[in-house]
Structure 1
Amino acid sequence: MAKPNVISKNELIEYAKECLVEKGIEKFTLKAVAEAGGVTQGTIYYHFRTKEQLLLEIVRDICDRSWSELSHHNENIIKQAFESAKSRCSSDSFFHKLFLTLVVSGFHNEKIKEQLGDILEKENEALSKHLTKIWSPTPIKGVSFETWGILLNAIVDGLAIQALLSKDFSVEKVYRELEQVLIGLSNPSKRECGK
C-alpha cells in the first residue's frame, strides 16, 4: 500500500468537498479527489479504504465543524443551529444529497449504517444538550430533552428532503414558522393563537 504524501487526511476531505461541489455526487470519484489534491490514488486509499468511507468522513467533518462553531454562541444557539441547517437546505445542497445517498447505502451496508447512526446520535445529543440551556424544564411534561433533540434533528432532515424534492418548497417560510414553534414552546406567553 502506498504511503501518504505530505497531505493530511483533513486536507483530502477539503479537496473531496470541492470535488462534490464541482462535480456533484453522481460524478464524484476518488480519482477526481486525487487529481484535485495533486496526489496518487494510492494516497487516497491509504487514508480512506472506500469512496463511501471518504463520503462518511465528509459528513462527519461538516457536522463536527457545524457543532463546533455553534458551541461558541451562548445566546440563540437554536436560532444559529437552524440558520446553519437552513443554509444546507436547498435544492442544490450537496450536503443533504450526500447524507441521504449514504442513508440509502446504509440499508445494504452495516458499516455505513453504524457510522451514520453514530453521527446522528452525536447530533441528537448536541441538540438535547443545547435545548436544556434554553428550556428549563422541558416545555411539555413527559417529553424528555433527549426526545426533543431527536425530533428536531428529524425535522431538519425531513425539511431537507422536502427542499430537495419540491421545487416550490419555501425554506425561508418553513424555517421562520419552525422558529415560531420553538419560541411558543420556550415561552407560552408569546404564543399566537390561530391566524
Structure 2
Amino acid sequence: MKEKITKASILLFEEKGFSETSIQDIVEALGVTKGTFYYYFNSKEQLLMEIHLDYISDLLNRQQTILESSNLSNRKKLEGIISLLIHDIQDKGPSGRVFFREMRHLIEENVKSIEKQRDLFRLHIEQLITDGIATGEFRKDLRADIAAFGVLGIVNYSYNWFNPMGEISANELSELFSSMLLEGIVPR
C-alpha cells in the first residue's frame, strides 16, 4: 500500500503541484482512508522527502554502476550518464518532474540532505571529466566543474519539454546531446 500511495502522490503532485494536492486528494485517488495514509507517512512533507530520496538514491546507484565499468572510456561513461538521465525522463518522468519542481516544499533540513545527494551526482560527473582531461579524452582547457554543470543543465532541463512519445526517442535525444556536448555544433 505504501508504494501505491507514493505512486498516486507522484502523479497528483505532478498534475496539481505539491501545495495544491491534499492528503484527502491522495486517499480519494486510492479509495482508502486518511488513517491508511498516516499509517505509512507522518505528513505529506515526509512523503515528498521519501519521493526525493528514492529518486536521487536510484540515480546515484545507477550512475555508480556506469562509473565502475572498467571497460568503458571516460567519454563512454559520460555518454552513459547522459543516456541514464534522458531514459529516466522517459521511464520515470512524473518522479523527475516532482523531484525538480517540488523540492522547494521540503523543510530546510531535508533540502540540505537532498542537495548533498544532488551535489554528489554532479561531483561524480566533474571527477569523470577531470579524469578524461588527464587521459587526453577531453580538452585540457576545460574547467571540469563548469563542464559538469553544463552537462546537467542541458540534460536535466529536458524534463520540461521532452516527450518520449514524441518525434524523437530517448536514444536519439541521448545521442544528440552526447554529440553536441562532446563534439560541439560547429561543423569540422
Please, what TM-score do these two structures have when normalized by structure 2? 0.65
Residue 73 of structure 1 aligns to a residue whose secondary structure is coil
* Structure 2: stretches of 5+ with no match in the other structure: 16-20, 29-35
Describe how 1:1-195 pairs up with structure 2 within 5 A: 15=3, 19-20=6-7, 24-26=11-13, 44-45=40-41, 50-74=46-70, 75=72, 76-90=76-90, 93-105=93-105, 109-136=107-134, 139=139, 141=141, 143-163=142-162, 171-184=170-183, 193=187
Q: Secondary structure at the match of 2:175?
A: helix
CA RMSD of aligned residues (A): 4.2
Aligned residues: 170
**Cα displacement string for residues 115-154 of structure 1 (whole angstroms, at most 9, x for unaligned residues):** 332222111101011112323365262x411111111112
Structure 1 residue 69 displacement after superposition: 1.6
Q: State the alpha-carbon separation in 2 of the partners of residues 31 and 68 from structure 1.
A: 36
Q: Which amino acid is the alignment partner of residue 146 of structure 1? A: D
Distance apart, 1:171 and its partner CA: 4.2
More contact order relative to length (CA 8 Å, sep ≥ 6)? 2
- Alpha-carbon distance between aligned partners in 2 of 1:140 and 1:87, rounded to the nearest angstrom: 30
Identity %: 5
**What is the rounded CA distance, in whole Å, between the counterparts of 1:77 and 1:91 in structure 2?**
20
CA distance in 1, matches of 2:37, 2:12: 18
Query: Post-superposition shift, 1:85?
Result: 1.1
TM-score scaled by structure 1?
0.63
CA distance in 2, matches of 1:97, 1:103: 10
Kept after mapping to 2: 8 A contact 1:131/1:145? yes
Report the Cα distance in structure 1 between the residues aligned to 2:61 and 2:180, rounded to whole angstroms. Answer: 26
Distance 2:59 2:178 in 1: 21
Amino acid across the alignment from 1:177 = L
3-state secondary structure, aligned to 2:102? helix
> What SS does structure 1 have at the residue aligned with 2:50?
helix
